[in-house]
Amino acid sequence: MQNVGQLLATKGRELHSVGPQDSVLRAIEIMATQHVGALLVMDRGALLGVISERDYARKVILKNRSSHDTPVAAIMSSPVITVSLTDSVKHCMELCTRERIRHLPVVEGGKVVGVLSIGDLVKAILQEQSEQIEQLERYIAG
C-alpha cells in the first residue's frame, strides 16, 4: 500500500491558503479560482485551521452571515487533523471516515508539506486495486 509521501510525489505539493483575518468571501474566491474544496488557514507558517465549502454552507449561508464581513477564523475547522509522509493511504482513509473530514494536511517537521483530499485517497486505492486485479488475471492466465 502506498504511503502519503509516495502519493504526494505523484499528486504534487501545491498549497492554497488564507489568513485567519481574511474574509470568507476571499476564501471562496480562492477556492473557486484554484478549483479546490478547502483551504489551509495559515498565520506566519503556522497551521491554524481548514476552511471548506462545507464550513461556508453550514456556518455562513445557513446562519445568514455576510461572506464579506465574516473572517475565516470565525468559521474554520480547528484543531486540524493532520498526517505525516510515512502514514499509509489506508490510515488516511480511516481518519477521513472516522472523523468525517474530506481534507488532510500533511505535516513534516512542523511544516505543512501538502494536502490530500478524499478524492486523492480514493483514486490511489482504486489504482492499487486495479493493479492487483491485473496481476491476478496475469497469474491465472499464465
pLDDT for the residue 138: 85
Spatial separation of the C-alpha atoms in residues 84 and 108, rounded to whole Å: 6
What confidence tens digit (pLDDT) does each residue in 44-93 have?
999 999 999 999 999 998 888 999 999 999 999 999 999 999 999 999 99
Question: Which residue intervals of 35-117 are DSSP H helices?
Answer: 53-56, 89-99
Asked whether the beta carbons of 50 and 81 are under 8 A apart, the reply is no
pLDDT attached to residue 139: 84
Q: Which three cell numbers stand for residue 79?
A: 484543531
Contact 121, 96 (CB under 8 A): yes
Q: How many domains does the chain have?
A: 1
4-11 and 118-141 helices, crossing angle to 10°: 100
Residue 102 and residue 52 in contact, taking contact as beta carbons nearer than 8 Å: yes
Owning domain of residue 73: 4-141
Q: Please say if the pLDDT value at position 142 is more than 80.
A: no
The CATH number assigned to the domain holding 42 equals 3.10.580.10
Each residue's pLDDT tens digit, 14-25: 999 999 999 999
